Amino acid sequence: MPTAAFFDVERTLSVPDCLPRAEFCRSQFAVEWVIPQGYVDTIFSNLDKTATSCAMFVVMRHMRDGFADDEARRRFALVVPHVRRALLIGKVIDLHKVEAAALADSLDALASGMFIVDATGRIVHANRSGYVMLDEANALRAPGGRLGATDPAADQALRDIFAAAGGGDAALGRKGVAVPLKGRGEERFVAHVLPLTSGARRKAGVSYRAAAAVFVRKATMNAPSAPEAVAEAFRLTPAELRVLFAIVEIGGASEAAYVLGISVDTVKTHLRHLFEKTGAGRQADLVKLVAGYSDPLVS
């Protein structure tokens, strides 16, 4: 009965609401399917309608039950909202599954290892690069399914950070924390831990399994950083920015001065300004600062 699709959602209907019963009984659908099945009436309701589709909940009445009376329609009307709610929930779940699959595909394309962990470090999800890192067991490991570092000091640092992330972004900081990791030989990695559970949601009394996202990449000197972001954050002049990255990539003041073609005293003057503006106390702190602005999503 095509006309049924034009009625309002959740309205209880039967055959006479759409067309005269005698006309329905002469229809091809009734002659070839309904009557041979022993059915005599139908109660139905639209559950959801779009421009291209219509979902309908239908109850067929057998000849032994007779036509749908007012009591049958009343009981049917009580059930319809619950069935419709189940349908809508199912659509939301299916949509989230599609979105989750698309997100997982995107994360698998990242060169950096990505892990979603709970407050104990247990891995909730990892991308393809993350599993490769765990298989290599170079800087990372996952005993019992919990993400950790092969270096004991870094491993304890990650445990503490994951536990803090479980307390929300107020405990860890919205920008997260960068943790240096040691690999085999001279290899170095950086883990960026970002909190996922906000303090506001915890106050609502809702429990969230995922506490933090961890992005791990190999620390290389050609890893792209964001000079513009560093300069804007600390109000650095172009000259100070050049000295900063020369110190990070080359080393000491003398070497930086040689490469930049300026005097060592000039480099030291810029270094003093860099310490004042960034709050760093040593050149090693400047290296950590720049590492913190490196893009964890690019290899």
Domain 111-218 sits in CATH at 3.30.450
Q: What does the DSSP assignment read for 98-163?
A: HHHHHHHHHHHT-SSEEEEE-TT-BEEEE-HHHHHHHHHTSSEE-GGGB-EESSHHHHHHHHHHHH
The domain limits of the chain are 2-105, 111-218, 227-292
Predicted confidence (pLDDT) per residue in 234-266, tens digit: 888 988 988 888 888 777 888 888 878 899 999
For residue 101, which amino acid is it? Answer: A
pLDDT band at 106 (very low <50, low <70, confident <90, very high): low
Given a contact cutoff of 8 angstroms between Cβ atoms, the answer to whether 246 and 256 are in contact is: yes
Please state, rounded to an integer, the average pLDDT across all residues of the chain. Answer: 80
* 207 contacts 278 by C-beta, under 8 angstroms: no
Helix (H) or strand (E) holding 231, with range, is helix 227-234
144-169 tens-digit pLDDT: 999 999 989 889 989 988 888 776 65
Tell the CATH topology of 227-292: Arc Repressor Mutant, subunit A (1.10.10)
Is the per-residue pLDDT at 135 higher than 90? yes
Q: Please tell me the distance from the alpha carbon of residue 124 to that of residue 117, in angstroms, as a whole number.
A: 5
Higher pLDDT, 92 or 73: 73
pTM for the whole thing?
A: 0.44
Determine the pLDDT at residue 204. Answer: 39
Mean pLDDT, range 60-74, rounded to an integer = 88
Q: What is the largest CA-CA distance in the chain?
A: 103
Strand-strand pairing, 113-117 and 54-62? unpaired
For 191-236, write each residue's pLDDT tens digit. 888 887 654 444 434 445 678 889 888 765 444 446 777 787 788 8
Check pLDDT > 70 for residue 14: yes
